[in-house]
Amino acid sequence: MRFLRLVAWLALLAVLAAAPLASAAPPSGDTSFIGSRNCRIEKPAPWGEGGRYAWLGACRGGFAHGDGALRNTLPDGSIELWLGAVEHGRLRWGALRTSGGYVVGQWQNGAVVAIEDDIDLRNATVKAFRTAERAARKLSARMIAKGNAASGRFYRGVADELAKQTD
């Protein structure tokens, strides 16, 4: 009897452990994901249709993964920019740079998660700005290493701007 109970618990744990892995990747027909088949990424919900999207970061298993920046160059030449951490193509922590400032926090389904508690909101805001800053600094270093000094300076400036948000 003990053996059967142990087997049942182990089976339950195996199912629970596998569940997050199954839901980590987006559905194949999900239109909120953009990019090439080799590197898909969730589009921030505030972005409209159109433009040229570019993920500046690593890809793993066909999805953007890790720290980086998602750029959208609009037909008028203006640039929308999201910086932060991505897991399996999904935006997680970061900052969306807008003409009016930043939209920051923990991201889910392309949008910032609403937080009611003031302390939790402050902590999430600081974490998001620091994550975005880290992504911008990594991207700056990568651009400079590739010989693209102008882009390196641009992302270093963005990182410095992000760092000032939590002073």
* In the chain, where the domains are located: 31-164
User: How far is it, in rounded angstroms, from Cα 116 to Cα 113?
Assistant: 10
**What pLDDT does residue 30 have?**
53
Q: Residue 51 phi/psi, 5° resolution?
A: 100, 175
Q: What pTM, to 2 d.p., does this model score?
A: 0.80
**% of the chain exceeding 90 in pLDDT:** 67
Residue-level pLDDT at 100: 85
Q: What is the pLDDT of residues 16-62, one digit of tens each?
A: 333 333 334 554 445 589 998 899 999 998 887 878 999 999 999 99
pLDDT at 54: 94
More confident residue, 101 or 70: 70
Q: Which residues contact 162 (CB under 8 A, 6 or more apart)?
A: 83, 95, 102, 129, 132, 133, 136
**DSSP-based three-state secondary structure for 152:** helix
